[in-house]
Amino acid sequence: MPPTDLPTAVGDAPTLASRRLDDLPERVARSRPADGDDAIDVFAPATGERIGRVPACDADDVAAAVERARDAQAEWAETPAAERARVVDRFGDLVADRRETLLDLLQLETGKSRRTAVEELFDVPTGCAYVASEAPDALAEERRRGVAPGITTATVTREPVGVVGVISPWNYPLTLSMADAIPALAAGNAVVLKPDEKTPFGALLLSELLEVAGLPADLFQVVTGEGPRVGPPLIDAVDYVAFTGSTATGRTIAERAGRNLIGCSLELGGNNPLVVLGDADVEEAARGAVQACFSNAGQLCLSAERIYVVESAYDAFLDAFVRETEAVTLGTGYDYDADLGSLVDADQLARVESHVEDARERGATVETGGRARPDVGPSCYEPTILTGVEPDATVACEETFGPVAAVTPVPDADAAIAAANDSPYGLNASVWTADRERGAEIAREIDCGTVNVNDAFLATWGANDAPMGGFGDSGLGRRHGPEGIRRYTETRTVGVSRVGPLTFPDRIPTDWFVRGAFAAMGVGRRASRAVDAVRRRFSRP
Ligand code: NAD
């Protein structure tokens, strides 16, 4: 059991006092399910116990939630960006203040270790701090070049799209809900969040904290329920959808958003490569690989699953990686003792077991791990290293989303780059070398949205000012950075003429005018090329 009095009482803030976990669904579009209502049971992965129930919302619940959100959004859109940013900032502070309660709840509903829960929770206030400081500038009116100097002006304003639907997964339920919802709110939108049915309680608790922070009532709605039942009516009713989840579901989301002609961002799966060059510090690379492959028991979209090591470093790296992996501790406690927690449920465990079994049957060697640990928890699995994995084995081609890494020797850096890029996915990669400049050059040749040199994933994920997202089957659009805020806006360009209508003048013969206009355009283009060259010369990093 968690150390606080969860699951019977959640929270210590005045508004959360004496809350029971089963009361939190009152935050949902439809109120708390009574016995016999259409409801979803939620289980604790670490023990298999039922911890609560949430309503199984339907299309009517979704429509009502979106309507309420839309009504609240009109006033919020008129609230100055700096004031909206202050609400976001206060929310970040509240999350930091309530961290013990949130950590307990996060562990309870995901089964992750306390260490991983801290990594996740830390992300929410740091993301809020970034959005609060960046949003007013990212959303500010901008002057752009007009038709020609002195003739017209062009001004771009950014308007919120309206209501944003956020559909989030179970693996990082707080971070991945808020990384999309907070910038949407800061940009003046309402948000209707559909958390994963396995992990609804963290999102519900955060919805309370948003209101405590000063977010107007109804602006942030939560609809709980099964994806195929709640997702489609949500996409049909909102003005933008931000989805995080599997590539298969992402395709159905994109199709529906396309039919409705609304924007979408899709943060999808990966089968991420980690490259160790011949000059790498193998001890450091091995510690990095443990973090890259086994954080959150490998249930992390940025996790490395394919490791390519240049032959000269292979034996030393494999020895160090196996040693470091065998030192990893597995547990389900609410303290900091265990490095790794449980997988999320029996389905996820079965998927991991089947991928390892498939590799074994095709001749792979299990260097360490390779078995479930029911003695620790019903869905626990040991961190596992495989070698001799055939290129067509499931672990080599598909996302396992578990604590399993396949290590393969390659002759040189070029072969490592080719192997890394031999995948339809392109989410995250990691390169290990003693030569940071060469590492950065190699990073530019890897077809992934984020590439970390001498780090697993935090160098890019933690850089809130830099965009994050996937190439290829790993998704569309970017979160983080100004891009992550502006995706939730429509631009409006206002052009003003200082000389009246821009048309053929009456008093100049047409052929003279056309000749003059092209000559002026030639001069203008040469002048702007010269100005651009000077600007580039002086803005080079
Ligand atoms: P999933 O696609 O099954 O579910 C994700 C969310 O979509 C859940 O809320 C689910 O209820 C909902 N959903 C399911 N079917 C739906 C439908 N037809 N319409 C609308 N919504 C629907 O994903 P999962 O397997 O539970 O999550 C793990 C996957 O998420 C992995 O592939 C992982 O790589 C990916 N992921 C990606 C990122 C990223 O940032 N790129 C982050 C975390 C997880």
Q: pLDDT of 125-139, one tens digit each?
A: 999 999 999 999 999
Q: Mean of the pLDDT values across residues 166-190?
A: 98
Does any ligand 1 atom lie closer than 6 A to the CB of residue 402?
A: no
Ligand 1 atom having least distance to the Cα of 196: 9
The answer to whether 427 and 302 have CB atoms below 8 angstroms apart is: yes
In degrees, rounded to 5, the angle at the alpha carbon of residue 160 between the alpha carbons of residues 156 and 164 is: 145
In testing the pocket of ligand 1, which one of 249, 343, 428 has its CB within 8 Å of the most ligand atoms? 249
For position 149, what pLDDT does the model report?
Answer: 81
Confidence of residue 29 (pLDDT cuts 50, 70, 90): low
- Does residue 14 have a pLDDT over 60? no
Give the atom of ligand 1 at the shortest distance from the alpha carbon of 269: 34
- Please say if the pLDDT value at position 22 is more than 80: no
Residue 463 has what pLDDT?
97
Report the pLDDT value the prediction gives residue 119, as an integer from 0 to 100: 96
Which tokens in the block code for residue 407? 């290590």
Question: Whose CA is closest to atom 25 on ligand 1?
Answer: 246
Q: What is the pLDDT of residues 455-482, one digit of tens each?
A: 999 999 999 999 999 999 999 999 999 9
Nearest to 422 by CA among 439, 393, 447: 447
Q: Among 34-48, 179-193, 202-216, 273-287, whose mean pLDDT is lowest?
A: 34-48
pLDDT at 163 over 70: yes
The reply to whether ligand 1 has any atom less than 6 angstroms from the CB of 477 is no
Identify whether 267 is a catalytic site residue: yes
**pTM for the full predicted model:** 0.93
Q: Is the pLDDT of residue 415 over 80?
A: yes
Q: Per-residue pLDDT for 6 more than 70?
A: no
Of the residues 267, 305, 367, 382, only one is catalytic, namely 267
Residue 404 contacts residue 384 (beta carbons within 8 Å)? yes
Average pLDDT, the chain: 93
Strand-strand pairing, 425-426 and 471-472 = antiparallel
Q: Which residues on adjacent β-strands are paired with residue 40?
A: 54
pLDDT for residue 509 is more than 80: yes
Q: What is the pLDDT of residue 19?
A: 46
pLDDT on residue 10: 41
426 CB near ligand 1 (under 6 Å): no
- Cα of 168 vs centre of ligand 1, distance in Å, is 6
Residue 2 reports pLDDT greater than 70: no
Indicate if the pLDDT at residue 1 is higher than 60.
no
What's the gap in Å between 243 CA and the centre of ligand 1?
Answer: 7
How many whole angstroms separate alpha carbon 6 and alpha carbon 11? 9
pLDDT at 528: 85
Name all domains of the chain by residue range, CATH numbers in brackets.
57-268+483-489 (3.40.605.10), 272-465 (3.40.309.10)
- Looking at per-residue pLDDT, the higher value among 6 and 230 belongs to 230
CA of 75 to the centre of ligand 1 (A): 32
pLDDT in tens, 308-323: 999 999 999 999 999 9
Q: What is the predicted pLDDT for the residue at 33?
A: 66
Check: CB of residue 388 under 8 Å from CB of residue 406: no
Give me the percent of the chain exceeding a pLDDT of 70: 93
User: Is pLDDT at 3 greater than 50 in this prediction?
Assistant: no
Radius of gyration over alpha carbons of the chain, in Å?
26
Best of 42, 116, 166, 167 to mutate for ligand 1, by most ligand atoms within 8 A of CB?
167
Number of H helices, E strands in the chain: 17, 20
**Pairwise CA distance, residues 92 & 88, whole Å:** 6
Non-local (6+) Cβ contacts of 22 within 8 A are: 7, 32, 52, 53
Confidence check: pLDDT of 388 > 50: yes
Task: For ligand 1, pick from 301, 348, 423, 460 the residue to mutate: most ligand atoms within 8 Å of CB.
Answer: 301
Q: 267: Cβ below 6 Å to ligand 1?
A: yes
Q: Which of 40, 43, 35 is nearest to 7 (CA)?
A: 43
Task: Find out whether the beta carbon of 69 lies less than 6 Å from any atom of ligand 1.
Answer: no
CA-nearest residue, atom 43 of ligand 1: 301
Mean pLDDT of 110-122: 97
How does residue 532 score in pLDDT terms, banded at 50, 70 and 90?
Answer: confident
Q: What is the pLDDT of residue 538?
A: 84
Terminal CA-CA length for the chain: 53
Ligand 1 close to Cβ of residue 171 (< 6 A): yes
Tokens of 287: 């510690």
Res 505: pLDDT: 82
pLDDT tens-digit map of 484-495: 999 999 999 999
Q: Is the pLDDT of residue 31 over 80?
A: no
| Structure confidence at residue 46 (pLDDT) | 94
Give which of 225, 198, 232, 229 is closest to 347, Cα–Cα: 198
Ranges 183-187, 348-352, 384-388, 508-512: which has the least confidence? 508-512
Any ligand 1 atom below 6 A from CB of 509: no
Residue 525: what pLDDT?
A: 86
**What is the rounded average pLDDT of the residues 323-346?**
96
Q: Which residues pair with 492 in a beta bridge?
A: 157
Q: What is the predicted pLDDT for the residue at 13?
A: 34
